[in-house]
Amino acid sequence: MRLGVNLDHVATVRQARRAAEPDPAAAAVLAELGGADGITVHLREDRRHIQDRDLRLLRDIVRGRLNLEMAATPEMIDIALNVKPDQATLVPERREEVTTEGGLDLAADQASIKRAVSALRHGGIFVALFIDPEPESVKSARKLEADAVEIHTGMYANARSETSISREGERVAHAARLAARLGLHVHAGHGLTYANVGAVAAIPEMEELNIGHAIVSRALFTGMARAVREMKERIASARSRPGA
Ligand code: PXP
C-alpha cells in the first residue's frame, strides 16, 4: 500500500503571507524521509496554494511517485505534459470551494475527461479519476480508459453514527472491489485521518491512499517525518489486522 502525502496545506501557510516559507519542497524531502511513497499536490486554476514553481521543483526532488491533482483543462494538460508527473489525478474544480467537494461528474464532463485521459496517457502519465463511491462512476472510469480510480472517502470521513460510518465504508469497499474486477487500480482519499484510516486501509484491493490535512496538521506539532511515519504505521497495522 502506497501513501501519497498531499502537501497543498504547506503551500497554503506560505501563501497566507505571500512569503518564501514554508516550502513544500522541504516538506517533501522530510515526508519521504518519514516513509511517504509519493507526494501529491493540486495545482489549482487560481493558484491559491501550490504554484507552478513548486511543481517543477518537486519534479526534480521527489524520489517516489509525484501525483498531480488537476482539472481536465487544456492549461493543466499542457503543464502536466511539460512537467511529467508520474501520475495525474483528475479532479473537479470549482473556484468558490474550500477544497474538492465531490467526485468527477463523468457523464456531464465526458468529452473533456476523455480528451485529458488520452493526452496524459499518450504522454506516459498514469491517470486516475477521482470519483464518488458509485458503481456507475467506476464503470464510466473504465470506459474512459483511466488507469485507476481514486475513490472519494469524504462521505465516509464525515459520517458520524456507527450505522452511517459502516454504510459509507461499505460503499467505498464495494466500489474498490468493482474497480479491481474491471481491471482498474484502486486509490482513495479525502478526509482520512489517523482515527478513520483503518477501515479504508484494510480494504484488500486498495493500493494507494492520498492524505493531506491530517498529516500536515500533525506535522505542525511533531515534525513532518514523524507525522508521516505514524500514518504509515496506522495503515500497516490495519492491513495486518483487518477489522481491528
Ligand atoms: N484526494 C483528492 C482528490 C483531494 O482533492 C484531496 C484534497 O486536496 C485529498 C485526496 C486529500 O484530502 P485531505 O487533505 O482531506 O487528506
What digits encode the pLDDT tens for the residues 185-196? 999 999 999 999
Give the pLDDT of residue 121.
98
Stretch 219-241: mean pLDDT: 97
Could you say which of 32, 69, 168, 208 is catalytic? 69
Known catalytic membership, residue 49: no
Known catalytic membership, residue 42: yes
Stretch 57-83: mean pLDDT: 98
Is the pLDDT score of 15 beyond 90? yes
Q: Please report the atom of ligand 1 found closest to the CA of residue 6.
A: 11
What single string gives the DSSP state of each residue in the chain? Answer: -EEEEE-HHHHHHHHHTT-S-S-HHHHHHHHHHTT-SEEEEE--TT-SS--HHHHHHHHHH--SEEEEEE-S-HHHHHHHHHH--SEEEE----TT-SS--S---TTTTHHHHHHHHHHHHHTT-EEEEEE-S-HHHHHHHHHTT-SEEEEE-HHHHH--SHHHHHHHHHHHHHHHHHHHHTT-EEEEESS--TTTHHHHHT-TT--EEEE-HHHHHHHHHH-HHHHHHHHHHHHHHHHHSTT-
- pLDDT (tens digit per residue) in 136-177: 999 999 999 999 999 999 999 999 999 999 999 999 999 999
Known catalytic membership, residue 213: no
Is the pLDDT score of 244 beyond 60? no
Could you say which of 152, 185, 187, 190 is catalytic? 190
- pLDDT (tens digit per residue) in 74-121: 999 999 999 999 999 999 987 666 766 789 988 888 899 999 999 999
Q: How far is the CA of 132 from the centre of ligand 1 (A)?
A: 13
Q: How far is the CA of 41 from the centre of ligand 1 (A)?
A: 9
Is the pLDDT score of 70 beyond 90? yes
Give the pLDDT of residue 243.
58
> Is the CB of 190 inside a 6 Å radius of any atom of ligand 1?
yes
> Is the CB of 154 inside a 6 Å radius of any atom of ligand 1?
no
Could you say which of 9, 32, 42, 208 is catalytic? 42
CATH number of the structural domain 2-239: 3.20.20.70
| Domain range annotation of the chain | 2-239
The pTM of this model reads 0.96
Q: Ligand 1, atom 4: nearest CA belongs to which residue?
A: 190
